Amino acid sequence: MNTGDGFELNQLTIGDLIVAVMDAALEVTRDESMAYVIASHVLVNILDLVSPGIARDMLAAYGGSTLH
């Protein structure tokens, strides 16, 4: 979609973001378990940057206690 300002707007779903981060993590390590750990840390940090407090609430809901 062209916005008229010379920029193109692309929509990205949270699922697309998760897949992209997981793919990048798998490139760094071929260990799927370690890739999940890496991806989860990256995604929590992104969430904390864009919506402070929400990441902590989500961690608490899923039994976590710290942001890394």
* pLDDT digits 0-9 by tens, 42-66: 988 888 888 877 777 777 777 765 5
Residue found under tokens 């973001």? 17
pLDDT of residue 60: 77
pLDDT of residue 64: 63
Angle at 37 between CA 24 and CA 65, to 5 degrees: 135
Residue found under tokens 């997981």? 22
What is the chain's mean pLDDT, rounded? 81
Looking at this protein, which amino acid is placed at residue 34? M
Q: Could you give the CA distance from residue 32 to residue 57 in angstroms, rounded to a whole number?
A: 26
Q: Could you give the CA distance from residue 28 to residue 42 in angstroms, rounded to a whole number?
A: 13
Q: How many CA atoms lie within 13 A of 24 on its CB side?
A: 12
